[in-house]
Amino acid sequence: MPKRFRFGLETLLHHRQVIEDERAGELARSVQARLDAEVAVRTIDERTERSLADQTALLARGGFSAPDLAAFVSFRQSLEVQREQAEQAVARAIREEERARRALVQARQDREVLSRLKEKQFKAWQVEIDTAEAHLMDELATQAFARPAPLED
């Protein structure tokens, strides 16, 4: 019975697969964080546009009071600060996404090195098994040929 294939680094290969899966999850979370940050910027932009439309409508109806103007200016400044913070969050999310992508690529490369080694060792094992089987078949054929034929009566 031929020996079974055993890859000595199977545990390490499994560990590297787990790490790769974790890195893929981190990348997915960082992509989602970037998308969420981009949505926040768009939401602020929409609020700004609505605020400008409201201001234009007030002006068309005959203007607005000094307290209304002060409230509008304060609101606009607040939106500008929020937008700046949201843009910074997008920039951070992009940097984090790039870092996560690089980590995933590195983890994938680390795993693939072991996967290729396993494949190479499996092929060498298969050649060894095939060679052993060929020798066994040759031996059986030689024994069958060397055995005297039964005598017929």
CATH number, domain 10-115: 1.10.287
pLDDT at 37: 97
DSSP 6: -
Q: Is-contact 33 131, C-beta < 8 A?
A: no
pLDDT at 107: 97
Average pLDDT over residues 81-102: 97
The pTM of the full predicted model, rounded to 2 decimals, is: 0.74
Average pLDDT of the chain is 91
Beta-carbon contacts of residue 93 (< 8 Å; ≥ 6 apart): 30, 33, 34, 36, 37
Tokens of 142: 């030689």
Per the listing, tokens 């494949």 go with: 119
pLDDT at 82: 95
10 Å CB burial of residue 97 (0-12, 13-18, 19+) is buried
- Among residues 100, 90, 105, which one has the least CA distance to residue 33? 90
